Amino acid sequence: MNSYAALLRGINVGGHKKVPMAELRELIAGLGWTDVRTYLQSGNAVFTTEDPDPGPTLERAIAAHFGFEVRCLTRTHEELREVAAACPLPAAELDPAKLVVLFLEHEPPQDRFAGFDAGAYEPDEFHLVGRAVYCYFPHGMGRSKLPDALGRVRPALVTTGRNWRTVQRLIELTS
């Protein structure tokens, strides 16, 4: 059995794709998965299952139950620990609300952002490492133009972001 964190993309934002966490927990438990918990309203669920790739199963269940599609990126406890360990930024020295990990569905080529003018978005910065993009927004993500610019790089990638505090909490919850 593996402990997973499911990172649901784009739910409960601006009144769109409403997914009550209590209902999500019931849905996940109904799949036969155990130790089901949620964290915050932004789409973080933790559970244990023998399913080696629970994301597609959860996506189908959400679509059938709620009537809309939601992408679900899943990571095991060990994968979350690896994401934290691979952070190229001095995480302990930074505001955890301003350090964001963009989780990627697939690992892109290392030249994914070749030709991207990162200097145009300073002091914001980003680093691609495996299936994660580490972003630091010293003035807050809400004011930054960097996330939109990264999202315009083609071909598009399925991503969902979590701040460092949430990443750390998901590591705890999956342990």
Domain coordinates of the chain in residue numbers?
Answer: 2-76, 79-174
CA–CA distance, 22 with 159 (Å, rounded to integer): 24
- Site of tokens 């990990």: 101
- The pLDDT assigned to 11 comes to 85
Whether the pLDDT of residue 14 is over 80: the answer is no
Q: With beta carbons less than 8 A apart as the criterion, state whether 20 and 40 touch.
A: no
DSSP per-residue letters across 35-94: EEEEETTTTEEEEEES-S-HHHHHHHHHHHHHSS---EEEEEHHHHHHHHHT--S-GGGS
Q: Which tops the pLDDT comparison, 15 or 50?
A: 50
- The pLDDT assigned to 153 comes to 87
**Residue 170 in tokens:** 């998901």
Pairing of strands 72-76, 2-8: antiparallel
Considering the domain 2-76 in this protein, what is its CATH number? 3.30.70.1280
Judged by DSSP in three states, 126 sits in strand
CA–CA distance, 147 with 55 (Å, rounded to integer): 24
- What does the pLDDT look like over 111-161, one tens digit per residue? 888 888 999 999 999 999 999 999 999 999 988 999 999 888 888 888 999
**Residue 59 in tokens:** 């996506």
